Structure 1
Amino acid sequence: MRLPVNLTLPLAALILAAPVMGSEAGPAPTTGPAADYPVTVGEPFTVGNVTWTPTDQLNYDAVGYAVIGEGAGTTGANKTLPLPSYVEVTALDSGRTILVRLERRGPMVNEALVELSADAATQLGLAPGSHAPVRVRRVNPPEVERAALRSGNKVPERMETPEGLLKVLRRKLADQSPLLPPPSTPPTMPKGPLAQAAPAPLPLASSTPVPKAKTLPPATTAAIPNPAPRKPASSAPQVPGPKPSAKPPVPKGGEVVQIGAFSVEANAHKAAAQLGATVTTAGKFWRVQTGPFANRAQAAAALEKARAAGYSDARIQRAD
């Protein structure tokens, strides 16, 4: 005898089993900007005798040296920027610029600013074992480039940096102390042709002449009894200002910070008073300097103070 077939039972079983089968696939992977979270800043740490303090600095722009280390894809390591974050790395020798995703802390040596993976170093054109001068600038790339770097791929190179800016960046690297964390300040493009010789005197810091009346000591002529007949204005001697400060003895091989060279003596004394510096004459100019310091590391703090006061052309040079 043939039994009737119930067609509703298999359909009900399939409906009940569907949620169970779907739960085995797990949650969908995170995509979009949320894939870069959480962002970690971290606590201060020490490498040798230097303390590095991570910070979420949006306008980070520094020069230093790059080394090649571990990691896959176009990635890198930095001591202070949040993880992850994105930077443009420029080779100061060639001007070549690439986008890198920072995923690790490092490099754990004070002489290097950034550590690049082998893939990132190859794209930047660095040879294995390189210790190359670079610029590292934090950027906010579009999501399509972020996604590519997260997936282990690379993105197209940026436009090459022009030679004029490369000269500014190389000079900034030469002036900063390798024993201290590099200042993360954007470089300033020069006004006019760049000076080619590094040891030459700095460009004149005075661009606005000071009115002649302000440079004369008050009541000078009143203090002179029975003044001699005045000569024509064209040959009248100028009243001298205050004498340059005596320069302290400098140890042989020491370092000084030259704040600037001025064509107007009053401007030189104003800068010296602002920074506690000394004024010396050099031909037709007045040089403002601080120091002497026993070594370049001690002079670095005075250099940063001078630049923070607005003297961006200040530099460290040998006292002798």
Structure 2
Amino acid sequence: MSIKTTVKVAMALGGAFLVAACDDTNLPGFMKNANSGEKSVQTAARQGKVIERDVEAPEVFQVTEKGLWDGRPSLGGVWVAHPNATDPERVIIRNPANGKTAVAALFRREREIPGPRLQVSSEAAAELGLLAGAPAELTVTALRKEKVPVAPPPEAEPVLEDPEEISQSTLDDPIAAAEAALDRTEKTTRRIGTRPAPKPAAKPEAGAKPAAAAKPAADAKPAAPAPASKLSKPFIQIGIFSVEQNAKNTAESLRGVGIIPTIKPGDSNGKKFWRVVAGPATNKAELATLLKKIEGLGFVDAYAVSN
């Protein structure tokens, strides 16, 4: 092989590698950037997630005794009241007679009424299958949130291709292929080099005023972030509802008087519920005003919550 041929082959191979370096898709598999595309997926797979779930906290509150629905419709969604309750809590109510459960809000029963000490709302009674005026044995247990780590999925084992399915092909003459590539590169270079240069921009006529530059559109001012609240419980919970439409109806009635509510779905032990909250308030005075306005609408069991 002549020296000229050797030089041409080296130039062709060098040019081919330079072109391939500009486009990762042209490289063979073992030369591609290992970080492209797969890095974020592998990182996400290695990182475990943390989820929140409800756990029962009998040490906070738990009673098992007769409960009663007096037959009257009530506001506030699913709730239960008991004289031993101190602070409002989120609880789970069980009816052992039929196995039904309900996630509810627990309140302190302020006044003594003859009959069972546990008093349930109309919506709680519907969830638990209680009849008006018919006492039933109920168990009420406080709930708490618990963070649980989720193990990342196991890494998939590499799958080797079946050797029998690997196709074979005869390699072309590398010298002839390199010379052909060099000829194509030289033709492309000559073709690119003969392109006419772009025409310079026309000069403006004498006395003509330059066109006014387009004024940039006025930058839209970003919405001011909501002021951060320093309160540990800046929201007011209006109620917990086992029926989503009831939560929406309550939220709509609040909007009608200028209160902006938020519906927060939840799930506890397979039971779905919807909480309606308002806020956040930025200070104690604002929180007190909001609570007073909500109680004036008939939601006398509304109380402050952290979220």
The normalised TM-score by structure 1 is: 0.27
The normalised TM-score by structure 2 is: 0.28
Q: Which has the larger radius of gyration?
A: 2
RCO comparison, higher one (Cα < 8 Å, 6+): 2
